Structure formats: C-alpha cells, structure tokens
Structure 1
C-alpha cells in the first residue's frame, strides 16, 4: 500500500532528474512491492498533470531519502551482528552434535575424538553466556517486530519478522545444546582407587572405561594401558614418575546412557547428608580416612538440596568401568554413589547394604555421579 512517504520520495527523486528505473530498483531493494511503486508513479503523474494554482511543486523534506537510508543501515547493522552471533551458535551446536554422535554412535577413541571433546568442553562452558545473549536477541527482535507492525512500516517489517523467527530458532538450538548432553552422557566424578597390598609390590591397574577419561592423577599411561605403580601396605603409592600419591584418581564421561535403577535407595535431607554418609559408608566398609575424603568431596554438592535420593550402584557401574589389577587382589570394594536432588521427600524402598570384609591384598574405590 502506498503512503505519503513513498510519494514524497519518488517526487523528490524525479525533481532531481533521477530516472524511473533507478528509483524503482532502489525502492525494491528497500522492500517495497513493485505494484506499490507503480501506483506511486501513477499518482505522481496524475498530480503533475492536474492544473495547479501554484506552479511551485509541493515541499518535500530533503531528509526523506537520508532518513530511509539511515534507518535501513541501522537495521542492517543489527542484522549483521545477529547473523554473526547466529553463526557462532550454529558452529557450537554442530560441535556439540558431532561430539555426541562420535561418542554415542561410533564410540570413537582416537586423537580426533579427543580434539572434538576438547572443543565441546570449550563451547559448553559458554552455554550460559550464549543463552543470555540469545534471550536478549529474542526480546529485542520481538520489540522491533511489534514496533514496525504498529507503525505499518512495510519496508522493515518483513526483515523484522524474519529475524524474529530466527531468534526463536536460536533459542531452540541453545536449549537443545544444553539438553542433549544431559540425555546421552553420564559422568563418573572422582573415582579414587586405594591399593593395600600385604607387602610392598609392583601393581598394574588397568581401567577399561566405556567412555572417555576427562581427568586423571597421576596420568593414566595409555602406552601401558594403565597405571604401573609400586604399592605399599599403608596405602602409599609410588608412580612411574617417582612421585608419591595417596590414591589413583580419574573422572570419566560415559559414551553410553546409563539408566541407573533408583527404585531402591535412601531419601536424605540435605542437612543430614554428613551423618548419613558417615554411618552408611562405614557400614559398607570404608575406613574413616576413606569416607572422610568421600564426604569432603560430595557434601558441598549435596548439603543445600532439600532432599537427596541416594543409591549405591553396583553392576551398572562396574560394567561401565571394569578394573583389571595385576597381581589380582584378594578383596575389592567399589563404592559408587548415584544421587538426585529432590524438592520434596518421597517414599522409596530402602536399599540393602552389604558389609565388606578386607582380606589380603585389598583394593578400595569410591566415586559417584549426580543425575539431573
């Protein structure tokens, strides 16, 4: 639909000697429909052919074209910034999706997979910032769209609508980028392995984790497929680097979803976490030194929750992270706590806790994970 702004612009350009074809191209580039442009020219021709009392042409604002161009440039600048951010988010989404596919579908375990994992960890750390910017873009383009819609500005409303739709797509991508890893990846946080031989001996500990190690201390020796250490009866460990360690530490990212069975367990108030863990871990078979180190790590992550649903996984965990120890231990205990934050207490069947008796060369491990 033609308006006075269009008529003034056409009239001004004609008075400057600009030909019809050039004016038409410029208006088409600004979003005007060809039908409206032709109607505008017809209206101007009618005005010029009609008898007028005053030979002077109607006054046209000399700033009409400049105003159109400034508004257009300003809008284009916003679009360009948005497009750059959109490209960054799309790249981030592609990296995340590629990493999930490499882990879940192909279970890659080579240099490419580790490089992809490093990229994923980097982009994942920016998720919060990306989501905040994406939300701002969504609100901004919603306001711009409503503004142009209210003003009936047909030049910019098409572009505003397009970018508003893209801002919705952007938000969806950011939400998916956050949710996809939580659906397909499980984490094993701070499993630590203690070695207690009856006499000093060389021990090899091989971990066949169904996923990727994301942290280890001392470093896991992939060339030997494990840790090669000297273990002492008091728990002291001397690694191949000649340094002393209290235990072998690792963290991992599972390549396959693990559906932990939480049909049995314990519902514990956050404030009661310490007393529960002290009593339960002692009953399971951890020494005060071991369960205190366990509590120091996990208590800060659990204490502020109203309730925690706690389950101690057995085969579901050990099948994911098989340990091969040479020479073989006489007894081995692997404690892996799975917990989930609850906003209210629920009824759950208590889990049966079995006590562990240490005999001969003992290997003790504890770790855990939080389910979202």
Structure 2
C-alpha cells in the first residue's frame, strides 16, 4: 500500500447532488485513502443508532471539482428479498445469493451470515459486512438485507406525486401492477404505511430490475425462473407537482420466483 498518496477526512453530513440523479446525506465520519489513480477505498463508520458500530470498507468513485470533494453515496432502507416456499417443493433445499463480493447461503428453516473478503489490485484486504435476518420464514423462506451504502442511480423524471391521505390506496394499486402478490403488498404497506405520514405530498420514482442490477447485482443459485426487484425512491414535498407516469413493465409470475422490494427516502 502506498503511503505517499493524498489522505482526506470528512466529518458530519455529506450531501451530494448529481445531474439527473439524487443522493442522500449520510451522517458519520468518512476517511479516504487513495489506493490507485482512478479509485479510492472508502472507510465508513456507521453511526445510526439502530445499527451496531462497525467499519465498512468499499471501493467507490470520487469526483473532485477544484477543492470540492463530492462523494457518490446513497442511503437505502432495508430491501426485502422474498424466497417463496416453492423451493423445497421443487427439490431445492438451499440457495446461494451473491452480489459479486458477498455470499450468503440460505437454507430453508435456517440461515448463515458470511463475512466476505475482497482483494483489490493493490492486494489490500477489504472486509465487507452484510447483515441478513430471517423474514417470515413460516410462509415463505425470506431474507431482509440491510445495505448501508450504494452508488449513484439515474432516476429519470417519470413518477407519481401522491398526497399523504392517498398514499395507502396508491400503494395498494401500484404494487400489484408491478407483480407483487397480496401478501407481499400487505407486508410492504404494513412496514411503510406509518412511515409516510409527515409530508403533505410524496414524489415517488420507481427503480426497477435493470437499474438495481447495475448498482446492486444479485445472483441466486439455483437460478429462479423469474426475478422481481423494485425500489421506490420517495421525496417528501410540500407542494403537488405534475409528473409523467412511467411505463410499468409486465412481470410473469411463474415457477420459482424471487421478489425484492425496498424504499429510499430523500431527507
């Protein structure tokens, strides 16, 4: 590891604004060590009270404009990955999930949490922490994934602006349109319904499979027949704004299906 390279420490809130996308402020202390000419290693100390304290190290891209340093970070609430109970019925006793760095072996009725290791081109060992917990495994084997940091995502301009009194009925319409079944819709609304009450309006932008795979790839083995991944980027706002609704892709729910939903709230 080179020791003569730039070293920067940033404290407190960081708010990043990028063209055609949104990134959230993240509270904590962040330390950067340049390890090669075009990438950095980020050491991130989690400070949110409901997480244990630990250091998280990932690779990321840094943008420098003169003396201003902008860090591409994105705070994400816990997406839910749902593995239907079709697995055992199809002779599948266990599944392996991986995003290229982290691996998790899921066995129906139990789970194992791995502490993965990445070695980059500078032979610097980077520990990656991934937290999983069992989610309603009596109805369908499932996992709750708790990521801490993601990279920039292009939201585009298509979405919906929904008043607070209509938010529940809107979600009851929207989620089945994307392919979620009644139980998954109920889980989503029960989890998020009372968290979307503090603003007169909410702008809602969908992030779908292709976009999520770019910033958070996931591989399931044995491979499912169909995968549904949807995150909603939600922006609380005081005023109504007319938005052009996006096209909703058709989802085929046949065979062994893995579904995932998550929410990102701009603060």
| TM-score, length of structure 2 as denominator length | 0.63
Correspondent of 2:111 among 223, 227, 239: 239
Distance (Å, rounded) in 2 between the aligned partners of 1:323 and 1:353: 22
Report if the CA contact (8 A) 2:150-2:215 is conserved: no
Report if the CA contact (8 A) 1:309-1:341 is conserved: yes
Aligned match of 1:68: none
Report if the CA contact (8 A) 1:187-1:251 is conserved: no
Distance 1:102 1:300, change over 3 A: farther
Q: Which has the larger Rg?
A: 1
Q: Secondary structure at the match of 1:308?
A: strand
Q: Secondary structure at the match of 1:256?
A: coil
Shift in Å, 1:184: 3.8
Distance (Å, rounded) in 1 between the aligned partners of 2:152 and 2:248: 25
Aligned match of 2:97: 205
The answer to whether the aligner puts 1:117 opposite 2:45 as a matched pair is: yes
Shift in Å, 1:100: 5.9
Distance (Å, rounded) in 1 between the aligned partners of 2:228 and 2:144: 16
Distance (Å, rounded) in 2 between the aligned partners of 1:313 and 1:192: 14
Q: Secondary structure at the match of 1:277?
A: helix
Q: Secondary structure at the match of 2:79?
A: strand
Runs of 4+ in structure 1 deviating by more than 6 angstroms, as ranges, are none
Correspondent of 1:308 among 167, 184, 202: 202
Report if the CA contact (8 A) 2:28-2:45 is conserved: no
Distance (Å, rounded) in 2 between the aligned partners of 1:97 and 1:348: 34
Q: Secondary structure at the match of 1:260?
A: coil
Distance (Å, rounded) in 1 between the aligned partners of 2:149 and 2:10: 24
Distance (Å, rounded) in 2 between the aligned partners of 1:187 and 1:102: 21
- Return 5+ residue gaps in structure 1 as ranges: 1-89, 123-179, 210-224, 232-236
Distance 1:255 1:311, change over 3 A: closer
Correspondent of 1:188 among 73, 76, 88: 76
- Return 5+ residue gaps in structure 2 as ranges: 1-8, 14-26, 50-68, 114-132, 137-141
Distance 1:185 1:335, change over 3 A: same
Where in structure 2 are the equivalents of 1:77-96 lying within 5 Å? Answer: 92=11
- Which has the larger share of strand? 2
Report if the CA contact (8 A) 2:97-2:105 is conserved: yes
Report if the CA contact (8 A) 1:200-1:230 is conserved: no
Aligned match of 2:106: 229
Correspondent of 2:175 among 264, 274, 281: 281
- Which has the larger share of helix? 1
Correspondent of 2:40 among 98, 106, 119: 106
Report if the CA contact (8 A) 1:239-1:245 is conserved: no
Report if the CA contact (8 A) 1:107-1:255 is conserved: no
Aligned match of 2:263: 368
The answer to whether the aligner puts 1:339 opposite 2:234 as a matched pair is: yes
Distance 1:92 1:349, change over 3 A: closer
Aligned match of 2:149: 254
Report if the CA contact (8 A) 1:337-1:369 is conserved: yes
Aligned match of 2:158: 264
Distance (Å, rounded) in 2 between the aligned partners of 1:92 and 1:280: 39
Deviation readout 1:303-334 (Å, 9 max, x if unpaired) = 23111111111233221110011111111100
| TM-score, length of structure 1 as denominator length | 0.46
